[in-house]
Amino acid sequence: AQTVTQSQPEMSVQEAETVTLSCTYDTSESDYYLFWYKQPPSRQMILVIRQEAYKQQNATENRFSVNFQKAAKSFSLKISDSQLGDAAMYFCAYRSAIPGANSKLTFGKGITLSVRP
């Protein structure tokens, strides 16, 4: 079974600064997808960024980028130029890409990010 670990329960960043959120995972599969979801106080789960395991190039979405280290099974999220609206809980998630496999997302416990003005 796959597991996702987010070992930092909380982090804080100064507005306009850069912060990196860590995530590690464990799997025996070679083909999979990784995601970061944001959950603001409204509780809505919002997709931030996604990465295919077969791609060496790290995904980027505006101020959000990932550092994907497949051998180390690490998938960190970097938020540049942090804004007050980035304050939320962030979840790292794994999904198998094996044909016929369960498409469910396996989530980490989440990390609460606060942004200081």
Partner 1 sequence: DARVTQTPRHKVTEMGQEVTMRCQPILGHNTVFWYRQTMMQGLELLAYFRNRAPLDDSGMPKDRFSAEMPDATLATLKIQPSEPRDSAVYFCASGRAGTYQETQYFGPGTRLLVL
Interface ranges with partner 1 (CB under 8 A) = 33, 35, 37, 42-47, 50, 52, 91, 95, 102-105, 107-110
Q: Is the CA virtual torsion 60, 88, 105, 77 positive or negative?
A: positive
| Residue 28 neighbours by CB under 8 Å, 6+ apart | none
Q: Please, which residue, 33 or 64, has the CB nearer to partner 1?
A: 33
Q: How many residues does the chain have?
A: 117
What is the distance of C-alpha 111 from the center of its chain? 10
Residue 15 C-beta: closest distance to partner 1, Å: 27
Residue 17 C-beta: closest distance to partner 1, Å: 28
Q: Please, which residue, 51 or 82, has the CB nearer to partner 1?
A: 51
Q: What pairs with residue 13 in β-bridges?
A: 115
Q: Please, which residue, 65 or 108, has the CB nearer to partner 1?
A: 108
Q: Please, which residue, 109 or 116, has the CB nearer to partner 1?
A: 109
Helix, strand, coil percent values for the chain (each to nearest 5): 5, 50, 45
What are the start-end ranges of the H helices in the chain?
none
Residue 109 C-beta: closest distance to partner 1, Å: 5
Residue 77 C-beta: closest distance to partner 1, Å: 16
